[in-house]
Amino acid sequence: MSTVCAVCTPLAQGGLAVIRISGEGAVDAASRVFSPFLSFPKVAEMKGYTCAYGKVIDPENGEAIDDAVLTVFSAPHSFTGEDTAELSCHGGVYIAKRVLRACLAVGCEQADRGEFTKRAFLNGKLSLTQAEGIMDMISARGEDSLRAARLTKEGRLFAEADDIKRQLVTALGELAAWVDYPEEDLPAVERSALSGTISSARGRLKKLIDSYDTGMLLRRGIDTVIAGKPNVGKSTLMNTLLGYERSIVTDLAGTTRDVIEEGVQLGGFELRLSDTAGIRTTDDRVESMGVSIARKRLSDCALIIAVFDTSEAADAEDRELIDYIAELGAKVIVVLNKNDLGDRFDRSLLGGLGCRVIELSARQGEGREELGAAVRELFAGTGIDEDGTIFANERQKDCIVKAEGRLAAAAAALEAGETLDAVTVMLDYALEELMELTGEKVGEAVVSEVFSKFCVGK
């Protein structure tokens, strides 16, 4: 593979910028752009895991660009599994770009998105699931999502898939030996034992599939909708939770026409918070479209924060919203807002929701801690077991679902009394799906798609 380089730190002002070079010619390239001070060895003589202090030199005019520290990692004991050199210079967009241009000028190629992690995978340093775990760690938005990503990066999913594969390989080996070498007088494959192996593998795969929703919840956040009729304080509540003014707040009903979305940490979870149009019947065409969108979002979300105005008696619009939410079956937190302005709301109307009720004044900035506690209570069962296995990736889910489907077909063939050849074919297919999951048998298109989601420099 070619020698590639990229800026590995954000292109912004900061204390430090790191430019990574990886490939067979990494050390040679570094020697042509870096000049160590006299007390340090020449770059070509540096051993792996050693550093040198010196200057980065522009190869085109010999001008010193910046002081820097060069760190050398020798193959195969590096992140990518290749010879790697990292130049650490002062942070800043201009300096980092100058150092990068110097590396490109001596023959390095610009690294693609995820190029370094892709090389680590291709060189056997990481499984494909571990590589995807790195991306999840980078994008983690909360403690639980970080723990979930760490489990993936540590290879828990790979280990589980690998153990299931060993079960299937053992079964396939016994089947092949019995079919291909009848003269050896090998014991016949017991259908009951084979059925047990298939059932065990299916059970483990189903457990992984069941963890998908939890993984997505932790990786992407809880899709949350703030709902209520116009002018009950939805936008004020959203601004209170965010800590700044994101939604427009006025005394006029129907101000919010579209969905306003932001992420917020609440109760230890990331909430993908949506402030929607007030739900009511209206002749205003634009507002009516917003109401339709709000209803659609309610039907799709994982958590509804339903807001009601306690200073007014419940009307037909409040009752309609309560009935609509009750039909959805989603997790619900009811916020009785404007409790500083009076109390005329009939709480018995909320009986059918079976929800947590919080009374507050969003205008006075109240309720954040109470809402956080309610979120923790509702989603307490979605935490991460440090000894468990979790995934949150459509590619991974597709492989696991297909593998389980192949095993289901194998179980059905076995139960129907079909020949063991038919069962063997289904087991082979299941094995291939698991190998695609871990990256042991995967096409270039899939690999490229996985690493295209990474940032340049990782």
* Tokens 């871990």, located at residue: 438
Higher-confidence residue of 296 and 255: namely: 296
Q: Is the pLDDT of residue 220 over 90?
A: no
Q: Is the pLDDT of residue 96 over 90?
A: yes
* E strand segments, 136-228: 222-227
> What are the two backbone dihedrals, phi and then psi, of residue 409, each rounded to the nearest 5 degrees?
-65, -40
Per cent of the chain over pLDDT 90 is: 28
- The residues, any chain, with a CB within 8 Å of residue 341's CB and separated by 6 or more, are 310, 311, 361
Q: Which helix (H) or strand (E) holds 73?
A: strand 64-73
Higher-confidence residue of 287 and 91: namely: 91
pLDDT at 277: 63
Q: What is the mean pLDDT of residues 281-294?
A: 61
pLDDT at 248: 43
Structure tokens of 317?
Answer: 């619009």
Q: Is the pLDDT of residue 109 over 90?
A: yes
CATH second-level architecture of 218-382? 3-Layer(aba) Sandwich (3.40)
Query: Between helices 420-438 and 128-138, what is the axis angle to 10°?
Result: 40
Each residue of 73-87: pLDDT tens digit?
999 999 999 999 999
pLDDT at 382: 54
- Alpha carbon distance 336, 326 (integer Å): 17
Q: Is 261 helix (H, G, I), strand (E, B) or coil?
A: strand
β-bridge mates for residue 225, sequence order: 274, 304
What pTM does this model have? 0.60
Each residue of 382-438: pLDDT tens digit?
554 445 566 657 788 888 999 999 999 999 998 888 888 888 889 999 999 988 888
CATH tag for 4-111 (out of 3.20.20.150, 3.30.1360.120, 3.40.50.880, 1.20.1250.20) = 3.30.1360.120
Question: Of 258, 220, 227, 226, which is closest to residue 242 (Cα–Cα)?
Answer: 226
β-bridge mates for residue 228, sequence order: none
Q: Is the pLDDT of residue 298 over 90?
A: no
- Alpha carbon distance 146, 388 (integer Å): 14
Report whether CATH 1.20.1530.20 matches the domain 143-211+390-451. no
Higher-confidence residue of 58 and 367: namely: 58
- The residues, any chain, with a CB within 8 Å of residue 190's CB and separated by 6 or more, are none
**Residue ranges covered by each domain of the chain:** 4-111, 143-211+390-451, 218-382
Q: Is the pLDDT of residue 255 over 50?
A: no
Q: Is the pLDDT of residue 318 over 80?
A: yes
Mean pLDDT lowest for which of 96-105, 229-238, 409-418, 429-438? 229-238
Omega within 30 of 0 (cis) for the link into 187: no
Amino acid at 211: S
Each residue of 134-185: pLDDT tens digit?
766 665 555 555 555 555 556 677 888 888 998 888 888 877 766 555 555 5
